């Protein structure tokens, strides 16, 4: 059969761009579903890097729970920021107390996921929440890069999971940027990098979604542990209830976010 001449490309309209984004979103939700038995053995020593305390559970809680049952000594978690910006105006809970609260919540969440000795498997870098350095020209950038690099080298992972590179959230993009920089330049070695979306589902704008052919997407079947993941999400009490009582308008994970992360699968993206 003769090959057809290429059709002239239509200039994209904002409506067609939006439709394309929605299509990619639906495609992610329908990506191939894999059991942990198929993907777990390839991970080796791995670390979940989360921008904030709670992202590790929202994005990768099912994975952590499943691997905690198979190979708990190979699981580590790094939390980049101190998580103090969700209730910035609290006087009852000043920043240090909020930081301690969120770190304890993270250990409780990892324990809910079944990770033994969780307090010794998580490292908190305590970068300033909502104020991470973006540019190498920012003098704080090298300090942040150093903290991330040291944490990664201590564990020397074979697989690193971090948030999706175009998450609609500055701290998330900057965390992924630091991780990528470390992997490329800090001598971590040859490392497999997987990315997980968190806010993309809720706030993704045209251009934030993976482009067709850019990434390989698959979903992890977390049905055996989904109840543990839900319990772990609720362990982040400051993000789902009013334990910080003097800031009634403080951050709360919305019902739609909670519903989304109660799904029996998690999405992971890997560069083609």
- DSSP E strand boundaries for 128-186: 159-163
By CB under 5 A, residue 51 contacts Zn ion: yes
Closest by CA to 266, choosing from 21, 29, 38, is 29
Contact pattern from residue 164 through residue 203 relative to Zn ion, giving x for each residue in contact according to CB under 5 A and a dash for the rest = ----------------------------------------
Judged by CB under 5 A, the number of residues near Zn ion is: 3
CA dist 151 and 178 (Å) reads 12
Closest by CA to 218, choosing from 49, 44, 36, is 36
Name the token pair of 258.
């909670």
Answer yes or no: are the C-beta atoms of 127 and 141 closer than 8 Å.
Answer: no
> Backbone dihedral region of 204: left (phi > 0), alpha (psi from -120 to 50 degrees) or beta?
beta
Nearer Cβ to Zn ion (195/221) = 195
Residue 170 φ then ψ, to 5°: -55, -50
Nearer Cβ to Zn ion (76/173) = 173
Nearer Cβ to Zn ion (129/231) = 129
C-beta of 129: minimal distance to Zn ion in Å? 9
Nearer Cβ to Zn ion (36/127) = 127
Question: Which of these ranges, 51-59, 93-101, 109-117, 214-222, lies near Zn ion under the rule CB under 5 A?
Answer: 51-59
CA dist 17 and 24 (Å) reads 11
By CB under 5 A, residue 55 contacts Zn ion: yes
Nearer Cβ to Zn ion (69/237) = 237
By CB under 5 A, residue 129 contacts Zn ion: no
Which residues would be at the binding site for Zn ion (CB under 5 A)? 51-52, 55
């Amino acid at each position: 059969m003769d090959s057809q001449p290429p059709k002239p490309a239509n200039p994209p309209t904002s409506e067609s761009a939006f439709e394309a984004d929605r299509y990619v979103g639906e495609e992610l939700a329908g990506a191939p579903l894999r059991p942990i038995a198929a993907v777990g053995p390839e991970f080796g020593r791995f670390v979940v890097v989360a921008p904030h305390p709670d992202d590790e559970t929202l994005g990768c809680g099912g994975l952590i729970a499943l691997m905690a049952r198979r190979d708990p000594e190979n699981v580590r978690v790094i939390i980049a920021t101190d998580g103090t910006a969700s209730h910035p105006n609290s006087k009852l809970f000043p920043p240090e107390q909020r930081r301690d609260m969120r770190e304890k919540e993270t250990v409780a969440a990892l324990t809910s996921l079944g990770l033994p000795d969780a307090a010794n498997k998580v490292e908190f870098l305590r970068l300033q929440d909502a104020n991470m350095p973006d540019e190498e020209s920012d003098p704080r950038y090298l300090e942040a890069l150093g903290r991330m690099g040291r944490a990664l080298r201590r564990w020397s992972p074979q697989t690193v999971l971090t948030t999706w590179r175009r998450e609609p959230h500055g701290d998330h993009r900057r965390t992924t940027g630091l991780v990528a920089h470390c992997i490329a330049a800090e001598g971590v070695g040859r490392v497999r990098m997987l990315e997980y979306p968190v806010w993309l589902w809720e706030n993704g704008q045209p251009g934030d979604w993976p482009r067709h052919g850019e990434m390989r997407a698959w979903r992890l079947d977390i049905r055996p542990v989904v109840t543990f993941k839900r319990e772990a999400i609720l362990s982040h009490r400051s993000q789902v209830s009013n334990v910080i009582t003097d800031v009634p308008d403080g951050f709360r994970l919305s019902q739609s976010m909670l519903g989304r992360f109660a799904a029996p699968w998690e999405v992971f993206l890997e560069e083609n």
